[in-house]
Amino acid sequence: RNSSRTRRSASWKDAMRAARASLRARLTRVGEAKTTQQHGLVFSGTPGGDWMAVSLDKSGKLVLRRMLVSAGGGAKDEGVSVINLKNPPAMEQPFDLKVHVFLSGDIEVSVGDEGQFPLHLPLTLPTTGYVGVYVKNGSLLVENPIVEIMP
């Protein structure tokens, strides 16, 4: 199986009026587990600014990630928060990843049947941003990605 990458844009300006947005997809981490791998979803990104994502690492920990974009075009990837899941999905096991984004700078994340885990963002969301897939040192099958602007 090959990695499936999707990229959709959503206007956080619409989310400002609607009060929140939601991103979800069914994910399958493909291949052998590697120490430095991450698989997840980008829920906020801009071409010239920082990106935010939630991902699962090799051991199945849920990680809130921030990709800091430098003036030269490089990026530094850092974990902001980590949550130990009680029943993390195994490699090759499909699971649903859901991210609800609130105007307050908070998100709620669900992994399969676990969650809703509340997390606070270390930055203000941009007015317009992109969502997509985040994969580091691995492959990911993405099915049924949905972005909703919710009232």
Q: What is the pTM of this model?
A: 0.83
Beta bridge partners of 70: none
Give the integer Cα–Cα distance in Å for 18 and 15.
5
Number of neighbouring beta carbons within 10 Å of residue 73: 7
Give the integer Cα–Cα distance in Å for 128 and 87.
35
Q: What's the mean per-residue pLDDT of the chain?
A: 84
Are 22 and 101 a contacting pair, CB within 8 Å?
Answer: yes
Tell me what pLDDT residue 151 has: 64
> Which of the four pLDDT bands, split at 50, 70 and 90, describes residue 30?
very high
pLDDT digits (tens, 9 = 90+) for 45-101: 888 788 999 999 999 899 999 998 888 778 888 999 999 999 999 999 999 999 999
